[in-house]
Chain A
Amino acid sequence: MVIKVNRLSKSFEYYKKELGLRNSIRNLFYREKLIKEAVREISFEIEEGEMVGFLGPNGAGKTTTLKMLSGILHPTSGQAQVLGFTPWERKKAFKMQFAIVMGQKNQLWWDLPANESLYLNKCIYELDDRQYQETLGELTELLDVKDLLNVQVRRLSLGERMKMELIAALIHRPRLIFLDEPTIGLDILSQMKIREFFRYYNLEKKATVVLTSHYMQDIEGLCKRVIIINEGQLVYDGDLHRVNDAFAHTKLIKLQLAVPVRVDELEAFGRVKSHDAFTVTLEVPRAEVKERSKAILDHLPVSDFNIEDIPVEEGIAQLYRRREVNHALA
């Protein structure tokens, strides 16, 4: 077991300011304190070598959870064991074995070439020269940035910089990697390159990876399992492709018609999700797929016919909208 989280919670104090100067002035003297429960009693476990997608809408508590698991923040309550350590005790032996990469934060020295920062990390993680050269060679090769090591970081493009950030984070060959939106703002090719790199890295090094991303391709390309949280609460933990099972009591029937049919006629066979002249998507209850299909084939001028599951994105979006789904799952 690499990660074991038990009823972890974190709340923050903050204050509100209403619109306008008058309220700004009022705020100088009096600030109403409010409590935001960023993470509420979440529990889960992650095994060695797993690659888990950690999903949720903006502000759901993903980053806060990752910060607690990496020891940056103390939780308000609850326990966590990461690599056998309590992360917020910040033991050196713990720090030597993991890495966290935040797509929106950089750790490289802005004014110096990347290899200076990488060398600093070599010293920080107390690597010997051979180890360092080996890992550096391998990572720069994989990410295709060998020629850029001597360029000042501020002169690199966003994609190049992200690759350097990844090298800096992985130079000590961590067993556990937290990736917080590593592909944010990158073009499609860079995203693919980085995905490919992590797929390889996870397979080759047996490293455990926890990944948050808003790009579905990142998640579908890399993670078998996803953990979804919303408003600080865990709403789903399981196979990515079974996200829909919980509430997908429906299936989609896609039709190609030989002759256009009026919508109100189509509605007799199921909920019309989309339609133009010749293509129609109908949503029908899972239990009635058979009868409905038969009826459709018998009564409509069908030239092509397909039964599909609701796409994963849609299931996830539903989870983002609804909070109490976990009860339905239980």
Chain B
Amino acid sequence: MPWLKKYLKAFELGFETALEYRFNFMISLISAAYPIIIQSFLWSAIYAASAGSSVYGYTFRQMIAYTFMAGLVARLVRTGFEYEIMDDVKNGKFSKFLVQPMGYFPYRLASFLGQKVPGQGMILGLLGLVLVGLNVFWGMQIEPLRVLAFLVTLVLATVLNFLLFYCFSAISFWIIEVGFLFEGIRIVTVLLSGGIFPLEVFGDRFARAAGLLPFKYTVNYPINVLNGKLTGSEALQGMLLQMIWIGVILLAANLLWRVGGRRYVAVGG
């Protein structure tokens, strides 16, 4: 299968590039810890001031566990290639993919996954530590089956988030400088995906509305599989929905890129 080899090589190059920039990655991990710590203080204050033992249906320990997991899962599925795509389109580097027998989409996917793997490994290790810590100090139950299901949903969540941002990056064909727009989109999607707070925090109606969007399936849903908020059949149903969303977004991406690609003007010499 010679056609597969090119994408394996792209995967490998992504991997190598990620290793070249390992220091950058360490810094990004530290920056991920920062909001988690702030939120832990915030929730401590909220729970201390509230009368009951649970807030929005979460006990204090559940909330802290969610905060830690959300911080790490959001980091796990996070993209970053949208800036590269913007640069490709803005500066005419996209051209080379049009003249070579290689698809831009599978190339980006392979390179993205390659760049993700080293970091994913570390974050998964950290997540394992957090889980063990929760189990030892707070007696939180961890069922092996849930961990397995969580890993599957995580893979699907990564692919889904890739596709979502692949769609967003098609904006580059219409608007030339979209760096800030991407940052805005990222903040909104993190919020909608439950990457900061559980969606219940925003109220029932919001949680239900957010359930109709795909974002929830990138962070909130995998966590709920892991922490036991969902029953077995709910977890399976969620996986199915993840796959349906992947299919829908894939079609949307295809359409957007076909229409956008025609607008590409290949600037520069």
Contacts and interface: CB of A to CB of B under 8 A. Distances in A.
Given A71-B99, A111-B20, A123 B6 contact: yes
A160 interface: no
Nearest to B265: A12
B17 A111 contact: yes
B17 A112 contact: yes
B98 A124 contact: no
Contact of A123 (B9, B95, B262, B269): B9
A155 interface: no
Contacts of B3: 126
Interface string B3-17: 101101110010011
A206 interface: no
Given A74-B262, A104-B268, A180-B269, A95 B100 contact: yes
A105 B5 contact: no
Nearest to A12: B265
The B interface is mostly helix, strand or loop, or mixed, namely helix
Interface in B99-115: 99-102
A112 B5 CA distance: 19
Contacts, number: 72
Given A72-B95, A105-B93, A107-B96, A120 B16 contact: no
A227 interface: no
Given A70-B99, A72-B95, A126-B2, A104 B17 contact: no
A70 B92 CA distance: 14
A74 B9 CA distance: 30
B255 interface: no
A180 B96 CA distance: 14
B185 interface: no
Contacts of B262: 74
Contacts of A72: 95, 98-99, 264, 266
Contact of B101 (A63, A73, A96): A96
A67 to B, nearest CB: 5
B16 A116 contact: yes
Interface string B235-269: 00000000000000000000000000010111011
A159 interface: no
A4 B122 CA distance: 56
B100 A124 contact: yes
Nearest to A93: B101
Given A67-B95, A105-B95, A181-B269, A120 B6 contact: yes
A299 interface: no
Contacts of B6: 120, 123-124, 126
A95 B9 contact: no
Contacts of B265: 12, 73
**Among A67, A100, A119, A120, residue most surrounded by chain B Cβ atoms (within 10 Å):** A120
B186 to A, nearest CB: 25
Contacts of A107: 96
Contacts of A109: 13, 17
Contacts of B100: 95, 121, 124-125
Nearest to A125: B101
B269 A95 contact: no
A105 B98 contact: no
A105 B268 contact: yes
Contacts of A105: 92-93, 95-96, 268-269
Interface in A61-117: 63, 67, 70-74, 90, 92, 95-96, 98-100, 102-105, 107, 109, 111-112, 116
25 contacts: A67-B95, A70-B98, A71-B98, A72-B95, A72-B98, A72-B264, A73-B266, A90-B98, A92-B101, A98-B99, A100-B99, A102-B95, A104-B268, A105-B93, A105-B96, A107-B96, A109-B17, A112-B13, A120-B9, A120-B13, A124-B6, A124-B101, A124-B102, A126-B5, A181-B269
Interface of B: 2-3, 5-6, 8-10, 13, 16-17, 20, 92-93, 95-96, 98-102, 262, 264-266, 268-269
